[in-house]
Amino acid sequence: MSSERHRRASAIFLEACDLDPPERARFLDQACGADLELRREVEDLLAADADPPALLDAGALGLDLPGPSAAGESEEPAAGAGLPERIGGYCIVRRIGEGGMGAVYEAVQENPHRTVALKVIAPGNASAWHLRRFEHEAYLLGQLQHHR
Amino acid sequence: MPAAAQPDVDFLALDEAMTRLAALDEREARVVELRFFGGLSVEEIAAVLEVSKTTVEGDWRAARVWLARELRRGERS
């Protein structure tokens, strides 16, 4: 699906998701017309919306993570093993997850003091595109602090 | 409270889905990054991206179901 079609599907989904079923069907007929692929995509999104994903419900991941004592210790038997103590201005608490790209840590940022999820890309996996995205993000976050 | 159990998240799959989303819609992906990974509020994200709160809320809702759908597809295959 192209970027333009994704945006159309998102826009139609957002209009449709708060409508009652009969109204929704009429709206989808009109908005998607004979474009069955678009209709399928929107209906797929509506189905996913009806069965809300627990994963992203927490909003800010870092704010809703259970503490090390609350989490199942069995998952991470050696929480301290191979764990960096610090990365930049972040104090590493534990590893939340790991994949081919790198790892995600629960960390405490010093200033402002808050718990965050820190994504670390393994060396060699950081493509130029990824690095650009990260730089852009750092720039935007810097802008935000500037606004305050 | 959602914190009762840590969701079983496949972070690699999430990261890959986020990469695909960024290719389709950069702004939706940025909203998810700032909110989910960065912990920013809707107001803060609206200020950073220079869009309205309504836009941020719409992007968040649309991106969230899109990601959920992608992750479920991954589980099935």
Q: How far is CA B10 from the centre of its chain?
A: 14
Location of structure tokens 């595109």: A129
Residue of A nearest to B26 (CA): A3
Per domain, the residue ranges of chain A are 3-50, 54-65+83-143
Of residues A74 and A48, more confidently modeled: A48
Contact A112, B46 (CB under 8 A): no
Read off the pLDDT of residues A3-42 as tens digits, 9 standing for 90 and up. 999 999 999 999 999 899 999 999 999 999 999 999 999 9
Beta-carbon separation of A53 and B65 below 8 A: yes
Sign of CA pseudo-dihedral A61, A2, A9, B76: negative
The whole-number pLDDT of residue A54 equals 58
Comparing CB atoms, the residue among B3, B11, B44 nearest residue A104 is: B11
Beta-carbon separation of A59 and B35 below 8 A: yes
- Measured between its terminal Cα atoms, the distance across chain B in Å is 31
Looking at the complex, does the CB of residue B64 fall below 8 Å from at least one CB of chain A?
yes
Residues 6+ apart with CB under 8 A from A31: A12, A15, A16, A42
Structure confidence at residue A113 as a pLDDT band (50, 70, 90)? confident
Looking at domain A54-65+83-143, its CATH architecture is 2-Layer Sandwich (3.30)
Q: If you average pLDDT over each of A27-31, A101-105, B47-51, which comes out highest?
A: A27-31
Beta-carbon separation of A144 and B6 below 8 A: no
pTM equals 0.58
A33: left (phi over 0), alpha (psi -120 to 50) or beta: left
Report DSSP letters for A81-130, one per residue: TT--SEETTEEEEEEEEEETTEEEEEEEETTTTEEEEEEEEPTTT--HHH
CA A133 – CA A127 distance, rounded (Å)? 10
